[in-house]
Structure 1
Amino acid sequence: MKTLAIDTSNQTLAIAVVDGHQILGQSQTMAVKNHSTALMPAIQQMMQTINVKPSDLAQIVVAKGPGSYTGLRIGVTTAKTLAQTLAIPLIGVSSLKTVAANCVGVSQWIIPLFDARRNNVYTGVYQWQGDTLMTVIADQHMSLSSLLALLKKETSGEVLFVGSDTAKFAATIKEEMPLAVINQVSVWDYPSAAVLAFLADQEAPEASLHAFVPSYLKLVEAEENWLATHEAGADAYVEKI
Structure 2
Amino acid sequence: MYILHIETSTKICSVALSRDEELIDCLERTEGMNHTALLTPMISQLLKSASLKPGDLGAISVSSGPGSYTGLRVGSSTAKAMAYSLNIPLVSIPTLAALAWASFQKHPEADYALPMVDARRDEVYLSLYNKEIEELFPTSSVILDEGALSFIPENMNEEGETHGRVISSKSFLTICCGDGAFKLNSLHLKSPRMIVDEEILASAKHLVALAYKSISRNHFQDPMHFVPHYLKPPNITQQRKAQ
CA-atom RMSD in angstroms? 2.2
Range with bigger deviation, 166-175 or 50-59: 166-175
- Report the Cα distance in structure 1 between the residues aligned to 2:149 and 2:172, rounded to whole angstroms: 9
The Cα shift of 1:81 comes to 0.2
Residues 85-136 of structure 1: CA deviation (Å, up to 9, x unaligned): 000110011111112211211431100111222422100111213xxx2222
**Given the alignment of the two structures, is residue 215 of structure 1 paired with residue 229 of structure 2, yes or no?**
yes
Q: Judge which range, 46-55 or 193-202, deviates more.
A: 193-202
Match of residue 158, structure 1, among 168, 173, 180: 173
Classify 1:47/1:164 alpha carbon distance in 2 versus 1 (closer, same or farther; 3 Å). same
- Name the CA distance, whole Å, in 1 between partners of 2:179 and 2:126: 13
The number of equivalent residue pairs is 216
Distance, in Å, in 2 between the alignment partners of 1:42 and 1:26 is: 10
> Is there any run of 5+ residues in structure 2 with no aligned partner, and where?
157-161, 163-168, 237-243
The structure 2 residue matched to 1:198, chosen from 185, 189, 209, is: 209
Matched, 1:48 2:48: yes
User: 5+ unaligned residues in a row in structure 1: which ranges?
Assistant: 223-241
- 1:197 Cα offset (Å): 2.1
Residue aligned with 1:149, SS: coil
Greater helix proportion: 1
Residue deviations 1:24-61 (CA, integer Å, cap 9, x gap): 22112233541001100010011011111111111000
TM-score for the superposition, normalised by structure 1: 0.81
Report what 1:167 is aligned to. 182
2:20/2:212 contact within 8 Å kept: no
Matches within 5 A, 1:49-88: 49-88=49-88
Q: Which runs of 4+ in 1 moved over 6 A?
A: none
Aligned counterparts of 1:21 and 1:206: Cα–Cα separation in 2: 17
Q: CA deviation at 1:147?
A: 3.3
In structure 2, what residue type is equivalent to 1:62? Answer: V
User: Does the Cα contact within 8 Å between 2:9 and 2:63 map onto a contact in 1?
Assistant: yes
| Contact preservation (8 Å) 1:32, 1:38 | no
Report sequence identity in percent.
Answer: 29
2:124 alignment counterpart: 121
2:136 maps to a residue whose letter is: V
